[in-house]
Amino acid sequence: MEGESADSATKVDPGWLALHAEREAVERALALAQARQKFSSDPDAAAAARREEADLLVNLDRVLTLIRAAEYRRRPGARRW
């Protein structure tokens, strides 16, 4: 039995991997937007980067919520809603 739960916990799920790839892409874009704000000499470009950062933070929150839900579903005996 112990091996079964270990096997199910380590299964590679394409949806799981896609969520983490999306998280990584959003985090990278967020870092770039923050750098543009910090180092831009153009006030309009910095303002656009702030707006982009706000949108990316909303998107990151969405992706992290989906990841937390997927992590819960991967647990043995997880409740299905």
pLDDT in tens, 15-70: 889 999 999 999 999 999 999 999 999 999 999 999 999 999 999 999 999 999 88
Residue 29 forms part of a structural domain: no
pTM of the model: 0.77
Residue 64 forms part of a structural domain: yes
Tell me the HSE value of 12 on the side-chain side, using a 13 A CA sphere: 3
Residue 3 forms part of a structural domain: no
pLDDT at 14 over 60: yes
Q: How many domains are contained in the chain?
A: 1
pLDDT at 6 over 60: no
Residue 23 forms part of a structural domain: no
Residue 26 forms part of a structural domain: no
Residue 69 forms part of a structural domain: yes
pLDDT band at 2 (very low <50, low <70, confident <90, very high): very low
pLDDT at 4 over 60: no
CB crowding 64-80: b at 16 or more within 10 Å, else e: eeeeeeeeeeeeeeeee
